[in-house]
Amino acid sequence: MKVRSVKGTADVLPEERAAWRRVESAAARVLGNAGAGELSVPVFEYVDVFTKSVGESSDIVVQKEMYVFEDRGGRSLALRPEFTAGIMRAFVEHGMHTRPLPVKLWTMGPAFRAENVQRGRYRQFHQVDYEVVGSESPLADAEAVQLMYAVLEECGLTRHVMLLGSVGDPEDRAAYNAYLREALEPRRDELSEVSRERLRLNPMRILDSKHAGDQALIADLDRPLERLGEASRAHFEQVRRYLDAWGVPYRVDPGIVRGLDYYRRTAFEAHHEGIGAQSALGGGGRYDGLIKLLGGPDLPATGWAFGVERVIDALAEEAAADDGAREPRLFLVPLDEAAVDEAAALAARLREHGTVEFAYQRRAPGKGLAEADRRGATHAALRGASERAAGVWQLKDLATGEQRPASEDDLRALLEFSA
């Protein structure tokens, strides 16, 4: 029997890895420059860390999306379905509140949800996650939105849009949920099953329903932004003023709600029209009550996460992953026996400057060039008796077909120039 990967998981093959590295280094650069420290948290935690914090009405809990298992001591553990809970658990455990506030943190890694697999929805997926703890200021919210936009831009995206809304303070949420209940309870039977469950637990989440019937039922109802209290409205307007001042493009979306229960006030998403039905690249918002809930001090926080697979999908859609010149890859083709050792030795010398491979055996020129092409080289350099006599290699640009004699210095310059 042939072994297979689990549905909803994926291998990242060598030719795909460059895009992943690009996302990781964009995050490291942009978030690092904003003073965020990178941290790693475990892939699994006690299940309470997640159930306490994501709230009983979130999809993760309601739709049983969490991978929960018992260890041999009978302890209930779960694979992380998202990062915020684990990071805040670590924040509390390491007493990070004694550091100068606000504390900014970021991480990247896999998360796990037992979802229905489709484009953009996997069971093991990856997120870049940013959190800023210890500030109630709308500056922290605006900066978080700006950083998410900037990381996505640094990844190479040009067509992402930020949507901004507010779910209000807990009182606003409660009042809005009561309003929705009153409006929808009489038409309960017309709602989808998931929305009926949400009506019971957290009616606001019905706005997120992809179900056309649900959308028709709520079409004429007010959105959370239209029913904000005074304090959260002022906070929202201030976030907008900062974003306007900094020139961060965004659209106000009155209906934005976040999947997790601990959000309050600012809620935002990043979208990309190129990646199909699951068009959200990421989302975030303010979650002032969470750290206290996890046994820590009562500190406000804001954060976001985006899905790496979706960003890479969007990059491919924009063909931005390949923009500009390709990094040079040189393939050395020995045309006679003596050139095999020369190629190996030259490769060893040149590799500190860039990517160099060579054929382990003598090759006819045509075969050598075909091999260089198959291996994804941008340039091939060939050497036989006449090149040896002249102290050069025949360098061929595989894209243009141009050919010229090149010394070792020339080859080094080629690799260094675009590295």
- The CB-nearest residue to ligand AMP is 307
**Site for ligand AMP contains 127 (CB under 6 A):** yes
Q: Does 141 bind ligand AMP (CB under 6 A)?
A: no
Binder of ligand AMP out of 86, 102, 224, 282 (CB under 6 A): 282
The tokens for 32 are 């690092």
Nearer to ligand AMP, 267 or 382 (CB): 267
> Which backbone phi and psi does 103 adopt, to 5 degrees?
-95, 125
Q: Is 138 in the site for ligand AMP (CB under 6 A)?
A: no
Least separation in angstroms between residue 10's CB and ligand AMP is 10
Q: Which residue lies nearer to ligand AMP by CB, 142 or 305?
A: 305
Distance CA 203, CA 199 (A): 4
Interacting residue with ligand AMP among 235, 310, 379, 383 (CB under 6 A): 310
Work out whether strand 160-166 and strand 403-406 pair parallel, antiparallel, or are unpaired. Answer: unpaired
Q: Toward ligand AMP, which CB reaches closer, 281 or 377?
A: 281
Q: Which is nearer to ligand AMP, 122 or 130 (CB)?
A: 122
Binding window for ligand AMP (CB under 6 A); candidates: 45-53, 120-128, 146-154, 380-388:
120-128
Q: Does 82 bind ligand AMP (CB under 6 A)?
A: yes
Q: Tell me the backbone φ, ψ of residue 403, rounded to 5 degrees.
A: -135, 140
Closest CA to 105 of 87, 92, 123, 89: 87
Distance of closest approach, residue 126 Cβ to ligand AMP, in angstroms: 8
* Cα(45)–Cα(241) distance, integer angstroms: 39
Q: Which of 280, 316, 321, 398 binds ligand AMP (CB under 6 A)?
A: 280
Residue 267 CA to residue 260 CA, distance in Å, equals: 11
Per-residue tokens: 391: 């102290």
Return the number of the residue (288 or 387) whose C-beta is nearest ligand AMP. Answer: 288
Q: Which of residues 216-275 bind ligand AMP (CB under 6 A)?
A: 259
**Residues shown for the chain:** 419
Shorter beta-carbon distance to ligand AMP: residue 120 or 165: 120
CA neighbours closer than 13 Å in the CB half-sphere of residue 92: 17
Choosing from 44, 91, 122, 331, the residue that interacts with ligand AMP (CB under 6 A) is 122
How many other C-beta atoms lie within 10 A of the C-beta of residue 256? 23
Q: How many CB atoms are closer than 10 A to CB 358?
A: 24
Task: Give me the phi and psi of 59, to 5 degrees please.
Answer: -55, -40
Stretch that binds ligand AMP, among 118-126, 327-335, 385-393, 409-417 (CB under 6 A): 118-126
Indicate the residue type of 337.
Answer: E
CB-nearer residue toward ligand AMP: 128 or 217 = 128
User: 40: which residues sit within 8 A by CB, 6+ positions away?
Assistant: 107, 109
CB 104 within 8 A of CB 131: yes
Binding of residue 63 to ligand AMP (CB under 6 A): no
Instruction: Rank residues 111 and 346 by Cβ distance to ligand AMP and give the closer one.
Output: 111
**DSSP letters spanning 286-348:** E-TTHHHHTTS----EEEEEEEHHHHHHHHHHHTGGG-SPPPPEEEEEESSHHHHHHHHHHHH
Task: Give yes or no for residue 305 binding ligand AMP (CB under 6 A).
Answer: yes
How many alpha carbons lie under 13 Å from residue 328 in its C-beta half-sphere?
A: 23
Sole window of 117-125, 142-150, 226-234, 377-385 interacting with ligand AMP (rule: CB under 6 A): 117-125
DSSP string, 145-207: HHHHHHHHHHTT-SSEEEEEEE---HHHHHHHHHHHHHHHGGGGGGS-HHHHHHHHH-GGGGG
- Tell me the window of 16-24, 303-311, 314-322, 383-391 that interacts with ligand AMP (CB under 6 A): 303-311
Interface with ligand AMP (CB under 6 A), residue from 307, 328, 354, 368:
307
Shorter beta-carbon distance to ligand AMP: residue 122 or 149? 122
CA pair distance 219, 217, nearest whole angstrom:
6
Nearer to ligand AMP, 117 or 325 (CB): 117
For position 143 contacting ligand AMP by CB under 6 A, the verdict is no
Q: Of 229 and 259, which has the nearer Cβ to ligand AMP? A: 259
By CB under 6 A, residue 121 contacts ligand AMP:
yes
| Euclidean distance between CA atoms 342 and 393, whole angstroms | 11
* From 106, 125, 236, 287, residue interacting with ligand AMP (rule: CB under 6 A): 125
Q: Which residues pair with 268 in a beta bridge?
A: 164, 284
Interface positions with ligand AMP (CB under 6 A):
82, 113, 115, 120-122, 125, 127, 259, 280-283, 305-307, 309-310
